[in-house]
Structure 1
Amino acid sequence: MIKAGAEPGHIPVAPVAVPAGYPSPSQDYFSSELDLNEHLIKDKTSTFVVRVAGDSMEPAGISDGDEIIVNRALAPKDGSVVVAILDDELTIKRLRITRAGIVLQSDNPEYPPIRVPELSDLRIWGVVTWCLHHV
Structure 2
Amino acid sequence: MPIKLNPLTKIIGLSSVLAVGFLLVVLAGALYGNWFPILDAFVFAVAHIPILITKYYASEFDSYLDDTELNATNDVVDFGRFLSSFLLVTGIAFPLILYHCHILTHFAMEFTICGGLLIYGVVVTFTSYFDGVETDALEF
TM-score bracket, normalised by the shorter chain, equals under 0.3
* TM-score normalised by length of structure 2: 0.23
Higher share of residues assigned helix: 2
Higher share of residues assigned strand: 1
- Greater relative CO, 1 or 2 (CA 8 Å, sep 6+): 2
* TM-score normalised by length of structure 1: 0.24
